[in-house]
Chain A
């Protein structure tokens, strides 16, 4: 297969792959608000008990 054909084939293959659907429906805003309230009801069980100490102890060296 020539380089050109191969590129064409790859393009065709890529284009024919279905992309995942991301849809948004109208009731989503209300649902999100309810979900946020639920999360806030339970969040203290997820958050570290001693927030002050937890935050203070999180010290990183710079990176990159």
Chain B
């Protein structure tokens, strides 16, 4: 049975500069700069974080559970998001959203949060120590950092069925949502000396299924940490995605994946196209082929290009949405928008790239790279071309190329400004964000599934939020509006 596809994106931003060029210091300055402007000083609560739990249900002794760093800057925003230092990067984890379009808005709000933090931080730093931020996924030297999507999935779906159904999408969706990359940076990637790849991330994937996210990265990540009622829900943690500058690409990334998960929940894994025989080879080969002509052998004896996979998957999603609806993902108009954009981008990358250069990141980037290269007759590995790649993702307005290539917007500046401060209204993020905004002095910590209050006397009070679809505006606005203080709120909750 399909369940509401609550979803969101977490993005680790690339960071450069800062005192002594220390990325942890620079990341902390960014997070603290934003928090200290009075937006929020509330801490993240690590209760309930179990990133080492494996969805396959067995302890894999060769796996390394991610380390949760509790000593680094970590805060909750009034829009329900988490802003913190993860390893050596500032990270924005969007609030839980109810639809792909809403999650796209809150991803854009994350960029705006980082831009504001950057401006505040650099005011207090010597210009020689100025910090710069990049919404990308690699440094071109073999180091990668993640953009992870999260989707609420019915616990009834077997994990092996998720793998069976979703691997074809995860290896092939880069043809429409890849962010593009000049050159290659891993041993395997550099073998063919490519000038350009579709994806920032593809060459870093080494396994089909696994628990790790920092080494031996898997196409399907098994982290089983639902941040919700584990009897009913799974959170599918998707680590094989690029950070998109194009809002339409973000929408299609989230919308296509959510629609296919809904199809899986309703119809099972058997309706999906056959898996590539060697998924890791497939994801890399597809990335290295901007001509989109490479085929791979599949388990159902067919050979498919990445485009073929996406075409089949689009039909699967479209047929389902048109016959059974897609309420689990979004309303009819939004689902139609997702499907239309996915289709146009798919046809465009094959037949008319100029028509979708305002939506497909890798096409937009490649046009600038090739245009510049031809104009100055440069080699494929000229540093200027790598600078274009990097500055495509640059968050400084005066250095950003993404802001100059004419990318189409779904959400304008006003909506994004609103989303920087206000939470989504149809998930528990509403309650979290509202509590942080209304009772900042009484909240000592918050996390995805609870808010912890300190009323000054007596023990700390934890308000659990185990259902991502409760705590909505519809269910809690009246309670919040009539509770002038945190004491009143907790008293009302006890009644």
**Residues of A near any B CB (own CB < 8 A):** 6, 10-11, 13-20, 22, 24, 28-29, 32-33, 35-37, 39-40, 43, 46-48, 51-52, 54-64
Contacts and interface: CB of A to CB of B under 8 A. Distances in A.
Contact of B387 (A47, A60, A63): A47
B354 A60 contact: no
Interface stretch (B39-47, B285-293, B402-410): B402-410
Nearest to B344: A24
B87 A55 contact: no
Contacts of B406: 32, 35
Contacts of A29: 352, 354-355
Contacts of B336: 19
A46 B404 contact: yes
Given A22-B341, A35-B406, A62 B368 contact: no
A64 B399 contact: no
Determine chain A's interface SS by DSSP, over half rule.
helix
Contacts of A6: 474
Interface residues of B, number: 71
B452 interface: no
B124 interface: no
B242 interface: no
A60 B23 contact: yes
A13 B354 CA distance: 36
A38 B388 CA distance: 16
23 contacts: A14-B99, A14-B330, A15-B332, A19-B334, A20-B101, A22-B410, A24-B344, A29-B355, A32-B406, A39-B368, A43-B372, A47-B384, A48-B387, A48-B391, A48-B399, A51-B382, A55-B386, A56-B383, A58-B16, A63-B87, A63-B144, A64-B12, A64-B146
B338 to A, nearest CB: 9
Given A29-B354, A63-B88, A63-B89, A47 B140 contact: no
Interface in B401-435: 401, 404-406, 408, 410-411, 426
A61 B145 CA distance: 8
Contacts of B352: 29
B367 interface: yes
B337 interface: yes
